[in-house]
Amino acid sequence: VRQILLDMDGVIVDFVKGVCGLHGRTNPYLNGKNINEFGMDKIWGLSASDFWKDCGYEFWSSLEFSPEAESVISRVEECVGPENICLLTAPCATAGCIDGKREWVRKFMPAYSKRLLVGSSKEFLAAPGRLLIDDRNENVWSYVKASGPAFLFPRPWNDNHDLQGCWESELDSELGALKGELAY
């Protein structure tokens, strides 16, 4: 079996842009000192509750696609077919989050409405031949530890930040490996 679990926020959904707008702040990753720091609450000196409190239905259902989304989606669909791809997203605790994410998928990726998985313990889905594409270091580490292949999508906030300029070729080589063209 060859399947792909595609993370939403930070991969195909522009969470950073949305949350900067919500808080009226500039993108902290334009500042080099924040490279490889995932927690924007920490960067901004906010408590987790202050950071997340307004991230409800309206917020999650109206986020924009990331600039890379179209290309990511076409590459993964080309590799395994859309029927073998699930969106996999971790919710925050704010009321309305999960419904907002479901609405986002219904509006912007309706073909995936029944292939949306919500949960934080992504490693429980780890299996050979099932590739996780995610932007959070810890998600990739725990998935790999549970014996699943994973691709850390290059972003300023993760260990692959130096690969941002060549994310297409990095992703293509992971997808090639998934198809068995290369050895894992």
Show contacts with Mg ion in window 33-92 (CB under 5 A): none
Q: Pick one of 4, 5, 6, 9: the residue that binds Mg ion (CB under 5 A).
A: 9
- In terms of CB distance, is 134 or 178 closer to Mg ion? 134
Residues near Mg ion (CB under 5 A), total: 4
Instruction: Provide the minimum distance between the beta carbon of 126 and Mg ion in the complex, in angstroms, as a whole number.
Output: 16
Query: Is there a contact between 77 and 85 (Cβ–Cβ < 8 Å)?
Result: yes
Q: Pick one of 4, 5, 7, 55: the residue that binds Mg ion (CB under 5 A).
A: 7
* Interaction of residue 123 with Mg ion, rule CB under 5 A: no
Q: From 107, 14, 28, select the one nearest 68 (Cα to Cα).
A: 14
- In terms of CB distance, is 7 or 123 closer to Mg ion? 7
Instruction: Determine the residue with CB nearest Mg ion.
Output: 10
Instruction: Provide the minimum distance between the beta carbon of 134 and Mg ion in the complex, in angstroms, as a whole number.
Output: 6
Show contacts with Mg ion in window 83-122 (CB under 5 A): none
- In terms of CB distance, is 70 or 182 closer to Mg ion? 70
Tokens of 148: 């699943």
Long-range contacts of 157-162 (CB under 8 A, 24+ apart): 157/10, 157/29, 157/34, 157/35, 157/36, 157/37, 157/38, 158/36, 158/38, 159/36, 161/35, 161/36
Show contacts with Mg ion in window 128-167 (CB under 5 A): 135
The edge-to-edge listing of strands for the beta sheet with 116-118 is 116-118, 85-89, 3-7, 130-134, 150-152
**CA distance readout (Å), 38 to 43, 86, 99, 106:** 9, 24, 24, 28
Query: Is there a contact between 118 and 81 (Cβ–Cβ < 8 Å)?
Result: no
Instruction: Provide the minimum distance between the beta carbon of 153 and Mg ion in the complex, in angstroms, as a whole number.
Output: 8
* Interaction of residue 10 with Mg ion, rule CB under 5 A: yes
* Interaction of residue 174 with Mg ion, rule CB under 5 A: no
The residue ranges that bind Mg ion (CB under 5 A) are 7, 9-10, 135
